[in-house]
Structure 1
């Protein structure tokens, strides 16, 4: 009988301890859930704007990230200290449509994505190529101009470099800017060539012209601009480039309102012939 009573007491204590354990665990879960709810409420409370679009309009200016080294889309003129180019004019029109001031922020091709994701600016422009790698991290607008990767070479070599095979040789010297789609193309398709990374993209055409490098892989649009400005240069394969792509504008992903406004504005620019005017001014 005494043994039976001891067993009953032990069982009761075990149940009591088990119940206490469940209660403590439940209490911990409640506290944790409450903490999560509080954090969410604080985030919601501090999230004043439904969209970045609203924030831009209220603050009165839009921050535009651009490298400033990629003609004809973006160029930081050392004489004036001002940005100029196709996309610079386009963004001034974009800011005008919003009723705000356009403020340009210096970035680079190698830091463009990180700077955008760090909210250093609202939109990235300057000849940004639309591709799936970028779309995985940000949002690319619709395209506004087509182009392809092609070689900028010396005019004397215009019959020498016509194919990937012609360029992909150890004795062919290539100058390329870091961090963008030009370098990506070179690394993927010209592994046998003698490649040098040149930090300032603006320096490469002159280095090709003076014989330091044989080839600059770039976009057909940029190649045509430099060939037009310097008779020593030749934009090879401008009508039949190695690739086909489009330029677009890049914003943080997840903001449907801002993205919709951007794309509608671009539709209007096309309908009103504004992009054609920019093409005629900066490229044709």
Structure 2
């Protein structure tokens, strides 16, 4: 009888120890390393603080506007004032006003324009940005606000010399072009026989054409008109019949329908109220 009692006590004690050790085992496995917890947390979908960038901009009180500052009449960083000015600069001040926020301008460049936008350095890219499918693949191009085409800016004395692509597409014709934008793309695709030099500062090219270093600057009809008006040595050729037909637009991040719809509605209002016409008269005519 004593042996039986001892056996029962031993079995009970063993079972108790097993249960205790089991509980401990479960408790131990429930405590995960910090690295594991962090990794799993990173996999969980993060709750967005704002439904749209539109809400974020309004909440922070300012909108970041990316612009190159070298493309008259749309964007120009005035070295005397260190302030941006131009058609799109005024337009973005109006856009910010409609949002009830401040417009803060961030300088970018044509080669880095898209990358800077996607890196969230600014909320919107402006400054004579051409509306095209290449850009639409990575970002969202707004409704257009002005039409233009690619045309040659030349010396006034040569106005009867360059009337077609064939007239320009010759080895003896020297072309100056800014890097990374649609001007360079047009030159590389259509003027393969000409002598092409890339100038980093787009603002320098008109003067270099006027002084004789280059014969042609391929640019937008609107920019060509502005420079020819400012310098009698220059002539904006083929502005009534440019090589291409395109439109300007504003560029934002894709996938944000709320912000995109607001931008397009604001642009419709600008057109209805004649605000874009006022900007054209101020900066282009």
TM-score interval for Structure 1 and Structure 2 normalised by the shorter chain: 0.7 to 0.9
Q: Following the alignment from structure 1 to structure 2, what is the Cα–Cα distance between the partners of residues 226 and 94?
A: 27
What residue number does 1:186 align with?
187
What residue number does 1:6 align with?
none
What residue number does 2:61 align with?
60
What residue number does 1:165 align with?
166
What residue number does 1:20 align with?
none
Q: Deviations over 1:50-72 (max 9, x none)?
A: 00000000000000000000000
Q: What is the total number of aligned residue pairs between the two structures?
A: 249
Q: Deviations over 1:217-240 (max 9, x none)?
A: 000000000000000000000000
What residue number does 1:12 align with?
none
Q: Following the alignment from structure 1 to structure 2, what is the Cα–Cα distance between the partners of residues 231 and 250?
A: 34
Report the secondary structure of 1:205's partner residue.
Answer: helix
Q: Which runs of 5+ in 2 are unaligned?
A: 1-36
Q: Which runs of 5+ in 1 are unaligned?
A: 1-33
Q: Following the alignment from structure 1 to structure 2, what is the Cα–Cα distance between the partners of residues 279 and 163?
A: 27
Report the secondary structure of 2:127's partner residue.
Answer: strand
User: Are 1:43 and 2:49 an aligned pair?
Assistant: no
Report the secondary structure of 2:254's partner residue.
Answer: coil
Q: Following the alignment from structure 1 to structure 2, what is the Cα–Cα distance between the partners of residues 114 and 43?
A: 24
Q: How does 1:13-92 map to 2 (within 5 A)?
A: 38-39=41-42, 41-44=44-47, 47-92=48-93
Q: Computing the radius of gyration over CA atoms, which structure comes out larger, 1 or 2?
A: 2
User: Are 1:235 and 2:215 an aligned pair?
Assistant: no
User: Runs in 1 of length 4+ with deviation above 6 angstroms?
Assistant: 34-37
Q: Following the alignment from structure 1 to structure 2, what is the Cα–Cα distance between the partners of residues 35 and 131?
A: 42
What residue number does 1:120 align with?
121
**Length-normalised TM-score, structure 1:** 0.86
Query: Cα offset for 1:41?
Result: 3.9
- Aligned-residue CA RMSD in angstroms? 1.3
Q: How does 1:199-278 map to 2 (within 5 A)?
A: 199-278=200-279
Query: Cα offset for 1:43?
Result: 1.3
Report the secondary structure of 2:129's partner residue.
Answer: strand
What residue number does 2:96 align with?
95
What residue number does 2:27 align with?
none
Report the secondary structure of 1:246's partner residue.
Answer: strand
Q: Following the alignment from structure 1 to structure 2, what is the Cα–Cα distance between the partners of residues 37 and 54?
A: 29
Q: Deviations over 1:106-140 (max 9, x none)?
A: 00000000000000000000000000000000000
